[in-house]
């Protein structure tokens, strides 16, 4: 019917694309306040969720988003599938593509896997996290959350604290906040921040936690314990917590704290701060569904290409 698009990374988007998706999310947000939280927008369309890494919140959030759009959803996890028989991602996609799905939502342990998959299918592909690459729907819901809870992104100062090296959330977040006119400072021990990358992305770099003082938003990254291995990136978790843990003592009044979850209480963030209702953490989780509804709608209807037509379809819902 209409052209399809994919969402592989924030790097591919312009500010107008971001604005359009956030607007759509806002309109779906109104639907979600109703008693019957469902629209017929994607009825008869098929969304395949292919998650080849463990996930609760992202997979659940996309699955619920698709169901609330009335799409048929197939959820495929990385175990119990032919991937166990040594099948390649290419062949899995080709097989699934043959069923004529409208959208693939893919999480994969390797950078670039979603872009690769996009080359093998006529369906839209949404990157739900590719190794240490990108996690664009997370960055979009972060922008949406800040816009609703704090105000316009333009001119804000965002400090991103922690394990930037292993974080796709950071990569997408730096790009997204910068694109929308925020200033970004990355704060991390030198071993955990690839300086040339942060600079290439337009972020300042600091290894002094006191440099979060100037920020309006303090975005705390998950310490990816399961990826640390014997890598020796930090002397010890205790040492890391002592030097870089974000807690109430290190914040000044008015600063808003974000975290994409799941949190390690007492490691990168104090338990008391996680439970503080002033943070944006719960709002981030809450906004996941409507932003992902907007993303699925945007790619499945090719809203990028013809917004008038797209708008009509949304109103009809």
Residue numbers of the site for its own copies (CB under 8 A)? 1, 32, 34-38, 43-46, 48, 51, 54-57, 60-61, 63-64, 67-68, 72, 74, 76-88, 91-92, 94-96, 98-100, 225-226, 261-265, 274, 282, 285-286, 288-289
- Reported as type and span, the H/E element at residue 15 is helix 15-32
Q: Give CA angle at 264 (261, 269), nearest 5°.
A: 90
294 SS3 class: helix
CB of 197 to its own copies, least distance (A): 24
CB of 250 to its own copies, least distance (A): 22
Q: Which is nearer to its own copies, 76 or 203 (CB)?
A: 76
Q: Which is nearer to its own copies, 30 or 56 (CB)?
A: 56
CB of 15 to its own copies, least distance (A): 27
CB of 298 to its own copies, least distance (A): 18
Q: Which is nearer to its own copies, 202 or 262 (CB)?
A: 262
| β-bridge pairing 217-220 and 157-161 | parallel
CB of 101 to its own copies, least distance (A): 8
Q: Which is nearer to its own copies, 138 or 185 (CB)?
A: 138
Burial label, 216 (beta-carbon count in 10 A; 0-12, 13-18, 19+): middle
Residues whose CB is less than 8 angstroms from the CB of residue 120 and which lie 6 or more positions away in sequence, other chains included: 90, 93, 94, 97
The CA distance from 202 to 220, in Å, is 19
Q: Which is nearer to its own copies, 17 or 130 (CB)?
A: 130
């Amino acid at each position: 019917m209409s052209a399809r698009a994919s969402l592989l990374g924030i790097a591919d988007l312009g500010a107008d694309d971001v604005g359009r998706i956030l607007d759509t999310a806002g309109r779906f947000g109104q639907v979600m306040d109703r008693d019957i939280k469902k629209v017929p927008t994607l009825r008869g369309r098929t969304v395949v969720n292919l998650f080849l890494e463990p996930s609760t919140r992202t997979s659940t959030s996309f699955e619920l988003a698709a169901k609330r759009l009335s799409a048929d959803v197939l959820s495929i996890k990385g175990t119990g599938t032919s991937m166990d028989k040594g099948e390649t991602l290419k062949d899995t996609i080709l097989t699934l593509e043959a069923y004529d799905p409208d959208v693939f939502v893919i999480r994969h342990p390797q950078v670039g896997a979603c872009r690769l998959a996009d080359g093998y299918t006529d369906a839209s592909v949404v990157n739900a996290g590719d190794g240490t690459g990108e996690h664009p729907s997370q960055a979009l819901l972060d922008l949406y959350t800040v816009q609703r809870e704090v105000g316009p992104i333009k001119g804000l100062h965002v400090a991103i604290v922690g394990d930037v090296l292993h974080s796709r959330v950071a990569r997408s977040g730096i790009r997204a906040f910068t694109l929308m006119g925020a200033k970004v400072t990355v704060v991390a021990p030198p071993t955990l921040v690839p300086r040339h990358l942060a600079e290439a992305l337009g972020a300042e770099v600091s290894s002094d936690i006191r440099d979060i003082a100037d920020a309006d938003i303090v975005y705390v990254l998950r310490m990816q314990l399961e990826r640390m291995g014997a890598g020796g990136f930090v002397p010890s978790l205790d040492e890391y917590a002592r030097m870089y843990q974000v807690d109430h003592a290190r914040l000044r009044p008015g600063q808003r704290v974000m975290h994409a979850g799941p949190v390690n209480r007492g490691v990168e963030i104090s338990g008391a701060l996680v439970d503080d209702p002033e943070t944006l953490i719960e709002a981030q989780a809450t906004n996941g569904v409507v932003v992902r509804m907007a993303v699925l709608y945007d790619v499945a209807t090719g809203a990028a290409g013809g917004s008038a037509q797209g708008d009509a379809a949304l109103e009809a819902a």
